């Protein structure tokens, strides 16, 4: 099994440094006092294109050879990876072919267009997305950049935890949301290389608990009919991410939809930051005492801030 190495993650940091934000870390005295712990929020919602996905996409594009760059890049995505890849391609002035389901939110479509992405719409099924992408790739010879099951993407996502570990020393725990596992596997590898005594705990919506099941049964379980407002966490673990997670993650906990919404409200109301539902999943685990945090230094990765402000889930 091939994992991103320590050296590769360090190289990724250097490679992407001028194209992404070294994101700030926020704290909350209210939370610290309430749980007798120290919390550190790594704000990928302030990242370029609004999510950690910019790290992996930029690293993947900048890792291509000159010959490969000429072919352009392609992916199917309705979410943050689409924007991040379009932006990364724009940095190198190469085409990004993005397959999006025809029901993708207008705001996401507009963002991809604003970064110069060339969009092909398809029916909103995984099958149609894959077939359409295959057709585009046949036509254009573009290089497919998978949203998470790609070594360069994982190296890029690993840089968020690497920065957090650099900013805050002596972390006992890092809490990280899990969808396809790109951010989580990168986080787990950065912890292993740069702060070996830090345990990584993944946090997942119970309505999309394939990582939880895969982790505890020891057998890859696909994400079937997932249902959660954390729209970044719907996908299954990948062929690369699953083994990395199995070996390097300490624990996976799940949270309910109401718990996610409650945590999201806390982040907006008390911490005054805009986050997408996926970002709130680790805090939901803390608020609902799924994790023992007492007297611990706890990092939480806020994955992004791309949320439809017209449909905030706590506005009921």
CB of residue 310 vs a copy of itself: minimum separation in angstroms?
5
Query: Per CB under 8 A, does 46 bind a copy of itself?
Result: yes
The site map against a copy of itself for 194-233 (x = CB under 8 A) is ----------------------------------------
Q: Decide: 62 and 143 in contact? Cβ < 8 Å.
A: no
Collapsed DSSP state (helix, strand, coil) of residue 270: coil
Query: Per CB under 8 A, does 113 bind a copy of itself?
Result: no
Question: In the complex with a copy of itself, which residue's Cβ is closer, 44 or 204?
Answer: 44
Output the CA–CA distances (angstroms, integers) from residue 149 to 88, 182, 186, 229, 279, in the order listed: 18, 7, 11, 23, 20
Collapsed DSSP state (helix, strand, coil) of residue 294: coil
Query: Per CB under 8 A, does 314 bind a copy of itself?
Result: yes
Strand-pair partners of 120: 99
Exactly one of 93, 269, 289, 294 binds a copy of itself (CB under 8 A); that residue is 269
Query: Per CB under 8 A, does 24 bind a copy of itself?
Result: yes
Two structure tokens written together for 195: 């702060």
Q: Decide: 203 and 184 in contact? Cβ < 8 Å.
A: no
Q: How far apart are CA 279 and CA 277, in angstroms?
A: 5
Two structure tokens written together for 307: 């949320």
Stretches 85-93, 118-126, 230-238, 273-281: which one binds a copy of itself (CB under 8 A)? 273-281
Exactly one of 274, 288, 296, 297 binds a copy of itself (CB under 8 A); that residue is 274
Of the candidates 189, 159, 181, 166, the one whose C-alpha atom is nearest the C-alpha of residue 25 is: 166
CB of residue 160 vs a copy of itself: minimum separation in angstroms?
15
190 is catalytic: no
- Scan residues 49-88 and list those touching a copy of itself (CB under 8 A): 50
Collapsed DSSP state (helix, strand, coil) of residue 41: strand
Q: How many CA atoms lie within 13 A of 154 on its CB side?
A: 29
Exactly one of 11, 221, 273, 296 binds a copy of itself (CB under 8 A); that residue is 273
* Nearest-10 Cα torsion for 201, 205, 206, 208: -110
239 is catalytic: no
Exactly one of 26, 69, 128, 221 binds a copy of itself (CB under 8 A); that residue is 26
- Scan residues 277-306 and list those touching a copy of itself (CB under 8 A): 305
Collapsed DSSP state (helix, strand, coil) of residue 127: helix
Q: Kindly name the residue from 53, 108, 199, 290 that is annotated as catalytic.
A: 53
Q: How far apart are CA 46 and CA 43, in angstroms?
A: 6
Stretches 44-52, 96-104, 189-197, 283-291: which one binds a copy of itself (CB under 8 A)? 44-52
User: Residue 166, Cβ neighbours under 10 Å: how many?
Assistant: 13
Q: Kindly name the residue from 78, 160, 185, 279 that is annotated as catalytic.
A: 78
Question: In the complex with a copy of itself, which residue's Cβ is closer, 292 or 308?
Answer: 308
Q: Which residues are catalytic?
A: 53, 78
- Please report, as ranges, the residues that interact with a copy of itself according to CB under 8 A: 24, 26, 45-46, 50, 265, 268-269, 271-275, 305, 309-310, 312, 314-315
């Amino acid at each position: 099994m091939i994992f991103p190495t320590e050296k590769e993650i360090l190289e990724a940091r250097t490679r992407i440094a001028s194209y992404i934000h070294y994101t700030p870390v926020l704290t909350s005295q209210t939370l610290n006092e309430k749980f007798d712990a120290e919390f550190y929020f790594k704000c990928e919602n302030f990242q370029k294109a609004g999510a950690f996905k910019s790290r992996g996409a930029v690293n993947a594009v900048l890792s291509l050879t000159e010959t490969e760059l000429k072919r352009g890049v392609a992916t199917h995505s309705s979410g943050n990876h689409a924007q991040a890849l379009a932006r990364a391609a724009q940095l190198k002035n190469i085409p990004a072919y993005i397959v999006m389901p025809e029901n993708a939110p207008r705001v996401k479509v507009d963002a991809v267009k604003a970064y110069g992405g060339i969009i092909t719409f398809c029916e909103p099924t995984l099958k149609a997305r894959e077939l359409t992408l295959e057709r585009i790739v046949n036509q254009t010879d573009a290089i497919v950049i998978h949203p998470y099951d790609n070594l360069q993407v994982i190296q890029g996502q690993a840089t968020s935890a690497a920065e957090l570990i650099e900013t805050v020393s002596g972390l006992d725990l890092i809490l990280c949301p899990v969808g396809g596992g790109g951010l989580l596997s990168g986080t787990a590898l950065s912890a292993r290389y740069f702060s070996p005594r830090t345990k990584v705990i993944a946090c997942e919506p119970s309505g999309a608990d394939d990582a939880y099941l895969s982790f505890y049964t020891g057998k890859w379980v696909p994400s079937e009919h997932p249902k959660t407002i954390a729209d970044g966490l719907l996908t299954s673990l990948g062929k690369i991410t699953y083994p990395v997670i199995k070996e390097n993650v300490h624990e996976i906990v799940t949270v309910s939809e109401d718990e996610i919404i409650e945590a999201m409200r806390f982040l907006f109301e008390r911490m005054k930051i805009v986050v997408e539902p996926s970002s709130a999943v680790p805090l939901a685990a803390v608020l609902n005492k799924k994790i023992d945090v007492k007297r611990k230094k706890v990092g939480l990765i806020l994955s992004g801030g791309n949320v439809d402000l017209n449909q905030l889930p706590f506005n009921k």
